[in-house]
Amino acid sequence: MWGSRISQGNTFVDLVDTDWKKIAMATPEDLQFQEFEEAAQLLSANPEAVTRSARDLSSAKRERERESVRVNVNLSEEEGEEEEAELLSGQKKQPNFWSFDYYQSFFNIDTLQVLDRIKGSLLPLPGKNFVKHHLRNNPDLYGPFWICATLVFTVAISGNLSTFLLKMGDPQYHYRPQFHKVSVAGVSVFCYAWLVPLALWGFLQWRSSSNPSVTSYSFLETVCVYGYSLFIYIPTSILWIIPFDWLRWLLILLAMALSGSVLVLTFWPVIRDDTKPASIATVTAILLLHALLAIGCKMYFFQTATQTMMPVPSLAPPTGNPNITLNQS
Amino acid sequence: MAEADEASKPLFAGLSDVSISEDIPVEGEITVPVGSPSHDDEYSTLDEPVKETILRDLKAVGKKFGHVMYPKKSTTLLRDWDLWGPLLLCVTLALMLQGGSADSKEDGGPQFAEVFVIIWFGSVIITLNSKLLGGTISFFQSLCVLGYCILPLTVAMIVCRLVLLGGTGTASFIVRFIVVVASFGWSTFASTAFLADSQPPNRKALVVYPVFLFYFVISWMILTFSPSHSDGATDTGP
């Protein structure tokens, strides 16, 4: 087969040479982009398949080579210039909002990075803006989401345990799991962690449109800061099981100071160029809402001894009004 | 070409000096040995008795239960995924968590719907999380693994209910605590044995942590299950 082709002259050999040059020029960038799309398409088309990545990559490579061989030689130089221009401008195509890849870009994070961001939220240093220093243009949704989920369950479980410890000596007390508190905790924590950043982001966008010196972070960065700032409440809520009220207040003040300062350090540089009342009001609002969440959690989930001393309508009615008996049953 | 030459040698023996041009096609017959003449070569499951169908599925589920109880790094659980096992386990667990104390509707344990939602919604979220972090496991395979690994916790629930029949004192609590902690460790270990290989190496902890949280919440629900007391005044009727 090869023998007959070669005997027809050198034209085929020339074509082979030129096409290989084009392949050598174009392949690295094209391959990278194509592999990603190919794998994603295969995955979405056949969700039952376990992707065997080596095989897919090599088949994509082979297909790409075949395609590039068929491409007209004249266009090779123009295409090369276009690709170079694209690469130099540093833009990459944004995936569609409805595609899986769009959301995958928010989870582009490693274990060490998550741990580093958590450390950054625990120890606010005056010079270091959380967004600039830790996020560095790579906000993620992993941290906020799982920190909120953990906080929901931690608060509910710790609240349950603290109630149990408090009433342990009471002979009439039967342990109740109080599972409905999980729903209450869930709604309040997730609302705080997602609606407050939305409101703050909207407010900053509005201010920055009227006042050009006020910059704004993107919505994801705001959510990220709020999510990571909630991390300190997780060990705080576990420590709240210890039934000393003064300790609980001390812990809450400590937690609020640390996470509040992270938030203030992040948002102050953005808002300080605004008019005095607006900037003070914004910072105050941030701190106030943060405090509200913490104190609200404490009051609702962790009852103190004084609150349980309140007269509970007992099952054995006091001597007197039979109407009360009927109402209680 | 060589075989054709050898076959044709006795025929064309006297024609060796005749030049054969290139475009004479080689004639011949290629026959494939014919197998059994039945036209229905596929195994059709439509005509088998119902008992056989059910037993086959039950056997598959049972085999996977065995894989969960003795977790080795095998791909059987991943390859032939099915969701019957998880459904069975989820319904059993939710039903057993049902008979809990409910002297006031608010203060009781999780309702059936809450358990169901936590298990399925939690599994979906963990699967999405692992896929978004770049895992190569498919959606249903991950659901299958997470669902099947609830088996040790279901066994622990059964044991807890049996222990609670004997009383609700401190001794029974300690026994239940040990059983639940052991089965929680078993579940987490089993599911990470199946899931860990499909993740990129620098994100393994990010994927394992939600699994840990998921089984922790289920273990908590099992541990805090307290049966209804006779003096808890559950009778609110007139």
More confident residue, A218 or A19: A218
Give which of A42, A52, A115, A176 to mutate to test B binding, by max B Cβ within 10 Å: A176
Q: What is the band of A310 on the pLDDT scale with cuts at 50, 70, 90?
A: very low
pTM for the whole thing?
A: 0.68
Q: What is the pLDDT of residue B178?
A: 94
Specify whether the backbone of B82 is left (phi greater than 0), alpha (psi in -120 to 50) or beta.
beta
Contact B149, B187 (CB under 8 A): yes
Q: What is the band of A27 on the pLDDT scale with cuts at 50, 70, 90?
A: low
Residue A17's Cβ-side half-sphere holds a number of Cα atoms within 13 Å equal to 5
pLDDT digits 0-9 by tens, B20-42: 666 777 777 777 766 554 555 55
The single-letter DSSP state of residue A131 is I
pLDDT digits 0-9 by tens, A251-305: 999 988 888 888 888 888 877 777 788 888 888 888 888 888 888 888 888 876 6
Alpha helices in A46-167 (DSSP H): 53-70, 76-89, 100-104, 111-122, 142-166
Q: What is the band of A311 on the pLDDT scale with cuts at 50, 70, 90?
A: very low
The single-letter DSSP state of residue B150 is T
Shortest Cα–Cα distance, A226 to chain B (Å): 19
Report the C-alpha gap between B61 and B52 in whole angstroms. Answer: 14
Residue B51's Cβ-side half-sphere holds a number of Cα atoms within 13 Å equal to 0
Tell me what the pLDDT averaged over chain A comes to.
Answer: 72
Give which of A111, A116, A326 to mutate to test B binding, by max B Cβ within 10 Å: A111
Q: Is the pLDDT of residue B219 over 80?
A: yes
Q: Does the beta-carbon distance from B101 to A174 stay under 8 Å?
A: yes
Judge whether B185 is closer than 8 Å to chain A, CB to CB.
Answer: no
More confident residue, A200 or A99: A200
Q: What is the pLDDT of residue B218?
A: 92
- Which segment of A138-147, B11-20, B184-193, B200-209 scores lowest on mean pLDDT? B11-20
Contact A224, A135 (CB under 8 A): yes
Q: What is the mean pLDDT of residues A177-198?
A: 87
Mutual orientation of helices A111-122 and A219-229 as an angle, nearest 10°? 70
Contact A230, A148 (CB under 8 A): yes
Report the C-alpha gap between B183 and B112 in whole angstroms. Answer: 21
Q: What is the mean pLDDT of residues B111-137?
A: 88
Q: Does the beta-carbon distance from B132 to A47 stay under 8 Å?
A: no
Q: What is the band of A56 on the pLDDT scale with cuts at 50, 70, 90?
A: very low
Q: How far apart are the first and last CA of chain A?
A: 97
